[in-house]
Amino acid sequence: MAVRSWPGPRVAGPRVAARDDGSGIDDGSAIIEFIFLAVVVMVPLIYLVLAAFEVQRNVFAVKQAAREAGRAVVTAQTFAEGAARADYAADLALQDQGLAPGSARTLSYSPAGAPCPAAGGVDRLEPGTDFAVCVTRPIPIPGVPGFLPVSRTTVTGRYVVHVDQFRPPG
């Protein structure tokens, strides 16, 4: 099948002139509107993403610090030695996430079923017992002034450890 062209003359449609009807809309204003809306939408979105990442980094750091502190306590010969090792292990875990060592965190020990931190904490490594190691740290949310209630949010990492049943009491 052959393609045929129309034998008649081609007639061009009316030319569209630039808008100059006094409405204030000129050619090229769409790019300005796009940039303005992109800034208005993207800046808060980027802030929310960065704030969420900061909170998540702190949550992961205290969970890792509690886990490492619990392992350090349980593998020590005495509770006093384990507490010193746990303090150092918690600092290393916080440093691993880019947080300052000893940065306003508390390390506490509580019975396995009690909330963190609980009164009457653990001070001995009794064979066959369980206890919880808790690391609590305030979350600094970027760009939030200190007088707002949300700036005083804390996060707690809790790890339950089991003292080996066949170890000597310490």
Contact (Cβ atoms closer than 8 angstroms) between residue 154 and residue 128: no
* Of 103, 71, 96, 105, residue with least CA distance to 86: 71
In whole numbers, what is the pLDDT of the chain averaged over residues? 81
The pTM assigned to this predicted structure is 0.72
The answer, yes or no, to whether residue 19 has pLDDT greater than 80, is no
The answer, yes or no, to whether residue 20 has pLDDT greater than 60, is no
Give the type of residue at 170.
G
